[in-house]
Amino acid sequence: MPNKKISIEDVARRAKVSITTVSRVINNVPTVSKKNRARVEEAIAHLKFNPNVSAQRLARGYNNSIGLVMPGYPGIFYSFYAVELIRGVGHACESKRLDLVFHITNGNNPINTSNVGGIIFADVIENKKQIESAIAMGTPCLIINNKVDDLNVNYIAVDNKVGGRIAADYLFSLGHKKIATITGNLNTQAGAYRLEGFKKFLKEKGIDLPEKYLYRGDYSRRCARAAAQAFLELPEPPTAIFAASDEMALEAVTVIMEKGLRIPEDISIIGFDDNPACLFGPVALTTIKQPLFKMAEDSVHLLSALITGKSKTKKKVILTPELVVRESCGPCRS
């Protein structure tokens, strides 16, 4: 394979072992069986794999560059979530005089860890192998917006279950019982956890969430429009809607007002994010605030400490979202 850069994944694939096992052989960890060690060594020799670049970088102590890896999805640069993370990471890198290497990924290709001192992964969406590979190569890593229990990795995440619960609790406190939701992408931890927290609170209060009040969305305005239209066409429309992002909530507001209904007199609506756009619509949006900019800034500071050796302990940080009350929610009138 003269023209292809050999990765640790290639070695693991040939040796038919995990990436972690390859890493342990490279770092001479004694827990690897003789059989697996022999297979890995054969694969390394056959593929002419050379991890020395990474080893030299680690021996120096640190590198002045940080990688930001973000899953690619349509409209990424129009997404408040993505832009706020990029802005926060960029601001922190500037203040610490660090270079930023930005990588948008679909999760299929190996990440080059040799030119950065550490990597920030913005969420985990179909790119878990990339994270495992980076960890195995000894690269300091930190994950934003995903609580990870099955990998030995640093993370900063928002408690999305609590966020969903706060939304349900607030609508319930206003007397709403016919409450619908437009979920985020349920393949993401944020989308799944927000729904889980929301449903759990309603169940505790004896409130049903029928299928007709559950629209599986993807954070886009397109799906929010379809969801709002579907809810309004029901024989018994909901009196309140929880949208798992402000973008979806704002689109639902538009649809509801197009139908001649009033917010919050006819329908209450609550979002999630605290996008500044919430303030400038026809109705200021009540929302669940997640500190995206702070999460992004803190991730750079934590990763920098790990890269330079100032911190050697794993950081697992959970931030609590907050309710921001504005104009879009009111007492139930039916």
246 Cβ contact partners less than 8 Å away, ≥ 6 residues apart: 80, 271, 272, 273, 274, 275, 277, 278, 285, 287
Spatial distance between the Cα atoms of 244 and 222, rounded to a whole number of angstroms:
14
- The answer to the question of residue 329 being in a domain is no
43 three-state secondary structure = helix
Could you tell me if 151 and 266 lie in one domain?
A: no
pLDDT over 90 at 319, yes or no: yes
The predicted pLDDT at position 3 comes to 55
The predicted pLDDT at position 58 comes to 46
Q: What is the pTM of this model?
A: 0.79
- The answer to the question of residue 314 being in a domain is yes
| 320 band by pLDDT with thresholds 50, 70 and 90 | very high
2 vs 305, more confident = 305
Spatial distance between the Cα atoms of 218 and 32, rounded to a whole number of angstroms:
43
39, amino acid identity? R
Could you tell me if 279 and 173 lie in one domain?
A: yes
**What is the domain extent for residue 41?**
8-50
pLDDT over 80 at 1, yes or no: no
Could you tell me if 169 and 271 lie in one domain?
A: yes
CATH code at 206? 3.40.50.2300
Distances (CA, A) of 110 to 24, 107, 209: 19, 8, 42
Long-range contacts of 259-265 (CB under 8 A, 24+ apart): 259/232, 261/232, 263/327, 263/328, 264/327, 264/328, 264/329, 264/330, 265/330, 265/333
119 three-state secondary structure = strand
Could you tell me if 184 and 261 lie in one domain?
A: yes
pLDDT over 90 at 90, yes or no: yes
The predicted pLDDT at position 54 comes to 47
Could you tell me if 165 and 261 lie in one domain?
A: yes
pLDDT over 60 at 169, yes or no: yes
Give the range among 63-67, 199-203, 210-214, 244-248 with minimum mean pLDDT: 63-67
Could you tell me if 180 and 259 lie in one domain?
A: yes
Q: What are the strands of the beta sheet with 322-324, ordered from one edge? A: 214-215, 179-182, 240-243, 268-273, 286-289, 322-324
| Beta bridge pairs of residue 181 | 214, 242
Cα dihedral angle (290, 293, 298, 301), rounded to 10 degrees? 170
Query: Contact 258/267 with Cβ under 8 angstroms?
Result: no
Question: For every residue of 301-319, which 3-state class applies, written as one string?
Answer: HHHHHHHCCCCCCCCEEEE
CATH code at 38? 1.10.260.40
How many domains, in total, are found in the chain? 3
Phi, psi dihedrals of residue 166, rounded to the nearest 5° = -60, -45
- The answer to the question of residue 324 being in a domain is no
Could you tell me if 194 and 282 lie in one domain?
A: yes
pLDDT tens for 42-55 read 998 898 887 654 44
Could you tell me if 201 and 92 lie in one domain?
A: no
- The answer to the question of residue 143 being in a domain is yes
pLDDT tens for 94-122 read 998 899 999 888 777 778 777 888 999 98
pLDDT tens for 61-73 read 457 889 999 887 6
| 307 band by pLDDT with thresholds 50, 70 and 90 | confident
- Work out whether strand 154-158 and strand 141-144 pair parallel, antiparallel, or are unpaired: parallel
